[in-house]
């Protein structure tokens, strides 16, 4: 069966973009693939400004709880916390020794995140893509569902795997990035020309997965549209309306054009209410499951422990093979 691996950083509250852009696919892929999903807390500590120990612990549990609530099924898939396996950090070291300073220095995300920070940039941030390569390659991953911004990181993982296999023998499966048709690329409700993101300047444009119905309604009612009244899909001319149409399409399962036809002429007020209602309805079962899980924290911890054990069953032998292929002396073999 096709093996899928994906990860998300515990670095903020999950929003509609995470749900419709990533999680909906994660859940769907469980139907016909062997999925491994990971809360990548070791990646989250590469940015000192966002790293607060107490918050990190909370957010790690929150993100895992969110993944379970949206429908990541621990019976079918593996869900675990990256730092629960030492194999990821250890494999990163092996990969560090087959990765070039030059290729890492060119990574667009590193360039972006380190810009203007001078000498204070951490080695961890520089090494971030190598850790990501370890995540992926330890599981013989075939497909990595990610946003387009991760393309270079997946290519690097492939390059590292290929280089390793070439030098030391076939150990790693070469992965490829897949960009499953996202339910939607969700834009900020206040500024529909930028992606909905936890780093937005205002909360008003972000709909969180755990927002209550009143707040969701308020956010959609004040969503930025334009001064015309027609409802049609045109990202250039009508970014606000188009974003709402896409959210409505993603949460109803209907087509954008079909919805545009239905709502055109009814005014933005009615349209926005319909979008809000559809989002509220989509989030309701997720929020209910989330509340149940929060009531039973022992259960989330138990599921994560099971997930870590199952992850280790795959990762540990892969790492062992890699170490032996590199000529590291197995314990007790001297």
Q: Catalytic amino acids?
A: 113, 195, 198
Dihedral, CA of residue 84, residue 90, residue 93 and residue 99, to nearest 10: -80
Taking the complex as a whole, the smallest distance from the CB of residue 89 to ligand TRP amounts, in Å, to 13
CA–CA distance, 294 with 296 (Å, rounded to integer): 5
- Choosing among ligand TRP, ligand AMP, none, which partner's interface includes residue 17 (Cβ < 5 to 8 Å by kind)? ligand AMP
What residues are paired with 35 via a beta bridge? 4
CA–CA distance, 133 with 7 (Å, rounded to integer): 11
Residues in binding contact with ligand AMP, number by CB under 6 A: 15
Contact between 242 and ligand AMP per CB under 6 A: no
Quickly count: other Cβ atoms within 10 Å of residue 295's Cβ.
8
In the complex with ligand TRP, which residue's Cβ is closer, 7 or 307?
Answer: 7
In the complex with ligand AMP, which residue's Cβ is closer, 26 or 172?
Answer: 26
- Choosing among ligand TRP, ligand AMP, none, which partner's interface includes residue 136 (Cβ < 5 to 8 Å by kind)? ligand TRP
Contact between 79 and ligand AMP per CB under 6 A: no
What residues are paired with 187 via a beta bridge? 195
Helices (H) and strands (E) in the chain, counts: 14, 5
CB 224 within 8 A of CB 240: yes
CA–CA distance, 154 with 138 (Å, rounded to integer): 14
Taking the complex as a whole, the smallest distance from the CB of residue 311 to ligand TRP amounts, in Å, to 13
In the complex with ligand TRP, which residue's Cβ is closer, 135 or 188?
Answer: 135
Residues 99-158 that bind ligand TRP (CB under 6 A): 132, 135-136, 144, 146, 150, 153
Q: Scanning the structure block, which residue is given the tokens 């045109």? A: 234
Closest CA to 267 of 221, 230, 223, 218: 230
Binding mask 163-202 for ligand AMP (x = CB under 6 A): -------------------x--xx--------xxxx----
- Choosing among ligand TRP, ligand AMP, none, which partner's interface includes residue 40 (Cβ < 5 to 8 Å by kind)? ligand TRP
Contact between 5 and ligand TRP per CB under 6 A: yes
CB 29 within 8 A of CB 22: no
Beta 176-178 vs 143-145: how paired, if at all? parallel
The one among 21, 161, 205, 240 contacting ligand AMP by CB under 6 A: 21
CB 18 within 8 A of CB 9: no
Binding mask 153-182 for ligand TRP (x = CB under 6 A): x-----------------------------
Beta-strand ranges (E) seen in the chain are 3-8, 34-39, 78-81, 143-145, 176-178
In the complex with ligand TRP, which residue's Cβ is closer, 153 or 238?
Answer: 153
DSSP state of 48: G
CB 179 within 8 A of CB 145: yes
- Choosing among ligand AMP, ligand TRP, none, which partner's interface includes residue 196 (Cβ < 5 to 8 Å by kind)? ligand AMP
In the complex with ligand TRP, which residue's Cβ is closer, 138 or 244?
Answer: 138
H helices of 180-267, in order, are 213-221, 239-252, 256-263
| List of residues contacting ligand TRP (CB under 6 A) | 5-9, 40, 43, 132, 135-136, 144, 146, 150, 153
| List of residues contacting ligand AMP (CB under 6 A) | 8-9, 17-18, 21-22, 146-147, 182, 185-186, 195-198
């Amino acid at each position: 069966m096709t093996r899928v691996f994906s990860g998300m950083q515990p670095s903020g509250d999950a929003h509609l973009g995470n749900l419709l852009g990533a999680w909906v696919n994660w859940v769907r892929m469980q139907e016909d693939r062997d999925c491994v999903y990971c809360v990548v807390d070791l990646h989250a500590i590469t940015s000192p400004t966002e790293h607060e120990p107490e918050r990190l612990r909370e957010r790690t549990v929150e993100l895992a709880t969110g993944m379970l609530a949206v429908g990541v099924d621990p019976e079918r898939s593996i869900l675990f916390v990256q730092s629960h396996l030492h194999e990821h950090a250890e494999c990163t070291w092996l990969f560090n020794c087959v990765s070039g300073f030059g290729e890492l220095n060119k990574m667009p995300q590193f360039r972006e995140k380190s810009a203007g920070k001078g000498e204070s940039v951490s080695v961890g941030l520089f090494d971030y893509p190598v850790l990501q390569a370890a995540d992926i390659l330890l599981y013989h991953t075939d497909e990595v569902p990610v946003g387009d911004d991760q393309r270079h990181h997946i290519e690097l993982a492939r390059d590292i795997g290929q280089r390793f296999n070439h030098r030391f023998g076939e150990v790693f499966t070469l992965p490829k990035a897949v960009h499953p048709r996202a339910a939607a690329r969700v834009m900020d409700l206040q500024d529909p020309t930028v992606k909905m993101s936890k780093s937005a300047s205002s909360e008003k444009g972000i709909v969180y997965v755990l927002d209550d119905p009143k707040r969701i309604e308020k956010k959609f009612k004040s969503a930025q549209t334009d001064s015309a009244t027609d409802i049609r899909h045109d990202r250039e001319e009508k970014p606000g309306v188009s974003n709402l149409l896409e959210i409505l399409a993603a949460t109803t399962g209907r087509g954008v054009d079909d919805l545009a036809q239905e709502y055109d002429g009814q005014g933005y007020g009615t349209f926005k209410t319909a979008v809000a209602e559809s989002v509220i309805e989509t989030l309701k079962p997720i929020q209910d499951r989330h509340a149940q899980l929060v009531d039973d924290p022992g259960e989330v911890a138990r599921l994560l422990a099971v997930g870590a054990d199952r992850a280790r069953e795959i990762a540990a032998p892969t790492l062992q093979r890699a170490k032996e292929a590199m000529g590291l002396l197995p314990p007790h073999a001297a």
